[in-house]
Copies of this chain bind each other. A is one copy, B any other.
């Protein structure tokens, strides 16, 4: 390793602590970049499918079956099935992610014992990819690998691209996805509960769901920092295409 030069180098700002200098001013806005919030993502997953599938199922059945009570029964059964499948699925996915992280972390830690030189080299190879060379590379690798916890942290994050999951994530994820699916699904189904005839129920359900999809697509785009009108139209299009295809299928089979 190269000898440490403790004199401050010709950097523009003076080093304060272990070579990390004071934070220079950044962009004026606090939230620099949109980082996808996990709760927003769960809400989006649940609402998107909740609005679309029950709407399309009800619309499809209205082409094949005349009676609204039957459409409501099928719709509610679908909402129940979808809510449980997506909610429990989300729960297990989050649990699996946590187990996977723990297993890979144990494995990575064991490898820093069994194949220390290889793991040191892997740290070097990652930094080398970003242009760290020569002495800087050897010194940086030395620093990172001098503490096993940091060394394993580095490998988890930068080699394996795994982030430590939050402990209560699984249950929250399940509740958010499942709840959003039920709320989303009841919107297109409500008119079939109110109207006795299929035709007005389908018309009101279509109008209601179209508004909900436009609004939801708009909000989703706003939350991800993308063009809002595009997001609104795309989300509406998914619901529309799904309903038309379900209608054609139901008409062909049962009509």
The reply to whether A131 and B104 contact each other, CB–CB distance below 8 Å, is no
Residues 200-231 of A at the B interface (beta carbon under 8 Å)? 224-226
Query: Is A65 in contact with chain B by the CB < 8 A criterion?
Result: yes
Q: When A23-B118, A124-B19, A131-B146 are in contact, do A81 and B242 touch as well, CB less than 8 Å?
A: yes
List the B side residues contacting A74 at CB < 8 Å: 57, 61, 74, 250
Scan A131-171; emit 1 where CB is below 8 A from any B CB, else 0: 11111111110111011001001100110110100000000
Interchain CB contact (< 8 A) of A18 among B9, B53, B70, B133: B133
Query: Is A39 in contact with chain B by the CB < 8 A criterion?
Result: no
Residues 1-25 of A at the B interface (beta carbon under 8 Å)? 1-6, 9-13, 15, 18-21, 23-25
List the B side residues contacting A70 at CB < 8 Å: 65, 70, 254
- What's the Cα separation between A138 and B136 when bound, in Å? 8
The reply to whether A96 and B224 contact each other, CB–CB distance below 8 Å, is yes
Q: Name A127's closest neighbour in chain B (CB-CB).
A: B140
Query: Is A40 in contact with chain B by the CB < 8 A criterion?
Result: no
The reply to whether A81 and B52 contact each other, CB–CB distance below 8 Å, is yes
- What's the Cα separation between A92 and B17 when bound, in Å? 46
Query: Is A196 in contact with chain B by the CB < 8 A criterion?
Result: no
The reply to whether A57 and B84 contact each other, CB–CB distance below 8 Å, is no
A interface bracket (residues with beta carbon within 8 Å of B): 35 or more
Report the minimum CB–CB distance from A8 to chain B (whole Å): 9
Interchain CB contact (< 8 A) of A121 among B2, B21, B79: B21
Interchain CB contact (< 8 A) of A72 among B72, B161, B253: B253
List the B side residues contacting A239 at CB < 8 Å: 85
List the B side residues contacting A107 at CB < 8 Å: 33
The reply to whether B154 and A130 contact each other, CB–CB distance below 8 Å, is yes
The reply to whether B20 and A118 contact each other, CB–CB distance below 8 Å, is no
The reply to whether A77 and B60 contact each other, CB–CB distance below 8 Å, is yes
7 pairs of residues in contact across A and B, judged by CB atoms under 8 Å: A21-B121, A49-B85, A53-B78, A53-B82, A61-B74, A130-B150, A135-B139
